[in-house]
């Protein structure tokens, strides 16, 4: 079916409860959203964690801001 977008709905659960329900329009944006809620996302958000190797402080700040926006 050309011209139709394939829509998926994603539920994110925590402790047996739905904490988020959204539609996926862009698979790449969904990959970023998954990163935002991953262990790596948690580490990036925590300014008290040791800096990641191979990532400059400026790059980490950019990642932190992106993840904060995706979690909002």
Residue 8 counted as domain residue: no
Residue 43 counted as domain residue: yes
Q: pLDDT tens for residues 7-32?
A: 577 777 889 998 877 777 788 888 88
Residue 45 counted as domain residue: yes
> Cβ of 41: how many Cβ atoms within 10 Å?
21
- pLDDT confidence of residue 5: 52
Q: pLDDT tens for residues 32-44?
A: 888 888 888 888 8
Instruction: Give me the number of domains the chain comprises.
Output: 1
- pLDDT confidence of residue 3: 46
What is the residue range of 37's domain?
26-71
Buried b (16+ CB within 10 A) or exposed e, 57-69: eeebeebeeebee
Secondary structure element (H or E) that encloses residue 19, with its range: strand 17-24
Residue 18 counted as domain residue: no
- Quote the CA–CA distance of 42 and 70 in Å, as a whole number: 13
């Amino acid at each position: 079916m050309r011209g139709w977008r394939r829509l998926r709905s994603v539920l994110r659960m925590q402790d047996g409860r739905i904490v988020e329900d959204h539609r996926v329009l862009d698979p790449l944006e969904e990959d970023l959203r998954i990163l935002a809620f991953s262990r790596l996302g948690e580490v990036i958000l925590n300014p008290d964690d040791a800096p990641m190797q191979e990532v400059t402080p400026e790059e980490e700040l950019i990642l932190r801001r992106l993840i904060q926006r995706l979690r909002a």
